[in-house]
Chain A
Amino acid sequence: MTVMTSTPSVRKVSVPKTWDTRMWQFMRWSGVLLIPLAWGHILIKDVVIGVHDIDLEYVRREWATWYSFWRIYDAALLAFAFAHGMNGLRHVANDFIHNENTKRVVSWAIWIAWFVISAIGATAIIGGVR
C-alpha cells in the first residue's frame, strides 16, 4: 500500500488490485444488492405469505409465472447471498487462524463448500419443481 498524499484529515492510498481487494469490493456491492434481494425475499415469504402457505405447488407456480422473474430473483439471491456469506465466514475464520497454512486449507474448504452448495441450488433452480 503506497501513501500518495497525506493531510491531517484525509489520507489517500493506492490499493493494489489483489484477490482480497476484489472480495472487499464484492462484499460492499453485493451487500447493497442484498438489501432489496434478501429483505424482499424475507418480507414476501415469511411475513406476507408465511411458511404455512408455501409448498411444492407454490414454488411450481411462482417459478413458472412472469417469464421466470422469480426464478431469476432466486438465482441472484443464491449467487450473491451465499458468496457474501461464505466470504464473511472466511473473514471471521481468518481472524482466529494465525497459521498461514491452516488459513489456506480453511479458505479452500470454505470455497469448496460454497461451490458444492451453490451448484446444488443452481441445479434445482434450472431443473425446476419435479
Chain B
Amino acid sequence: MATLINTLWQGLWYKGGVGNWSYQFHRLAGLGTLLFLAIHIVDTAFVFFAPELYKHAMEIYRHPVFMLGEIALVAGVLYHGMNGLKIIVFDFWPHLWNHKNEQRANILIYVATFLAWLPAAFIMGSSLYKHSILPLLGGK
C-alpha cells in the first residue's frame, strides 16, 4: 500500500514549480475532458439508438450542476489546447526552448486561458441564471 501511494505520488510530482503545475493541469484537463467526451459520445448516439433517451440526456445537460461542470470543462479545454500548442511548438522548434521561455509560456497560458474563459463563462453563467436561478426567484 505504501509502495502504491509512493508510485502514485511520484507519478504526479517530479520537480515542482510552474512547469510541474502545468503538467498536472494538462493531465487533469485532458482526463476530465476525456471522461466528459466518452459520456457525450454515447448520449449523442441516443439520437439514433434511443431518441426518447436523448431527451432525458438533454435534461441532465440542462441541470444547473451539469451546467457548472460545463463552464469548468470550457476552462479545461481552453487550457489543454493552449498548453498543447506550447508543447508542440517546443517539440518541433527545440531551439526556442529554454527554461526561461518555458516559464514565460506557462504563465502566459494561465493568463490567456483565464481571459478566453471569462466571456464564455459569463455567457454560460447568464444562461444558467436565466434558466435555473431566475425561475426560482419567481421571474420568467
Contact = CB atoms under 8 A, between A and B. Distances in A.
B42 A117 contact: yes
A92 B35 CA distance: 14
Contacts of A50: 124, 127
Contact of A47 (B67, B87, B95, B123): B123
Nearest to B54: A56
B48 A124 contact: yes
Interface residues of A, number: 43
B127 A92 contact: no
Nearest to A89: B34
Nearest to A48: B123
A96 B8 contact: yes
A117 B131 contact: no
Contacts, number: 115
B61 interface: yes
A81 B7 CA distance: 29
Interface string A32-54: 10110011001100110011101
A43 B74 CA distance: 9
B77 A39 contact: yes
A50 B131 CA distance: 11
Contacts of A42: 73-74, 77, 120
B107 interface: no
Nearest to B33: A85
Interface of A: 9-10, 28, 31-32, 34-35, 38-39, 42-43, 46-47, 50-52, 54-56, 59-60, 78, 81-82, 85-86, 88-89, 92, 95-96, 98, 113, 117-118, 120-121, 123-124, 127-130
Given A121-B41, A124-B44, 5 more contacts: A47-B123, A50-B124, A51-B127, A85-B38, A92-B27
30 contacts: A9-B95, A10-B94, A28-B92, A31-B88, A32-B85, A38-B77, A38-B81, A39-B77, A42-B77, A46-B70, A47-B120, A47-B123, A47-B124, A51-B127, A52-B127, A56-B47, A85-B30, A85-B38, A88-B27, A88-B30, A92-B31, A113-B38, A117-B41, A117-B42, A120-B45, A121-B42, A121-B45, A123-B49, A124-B47, A130-B48
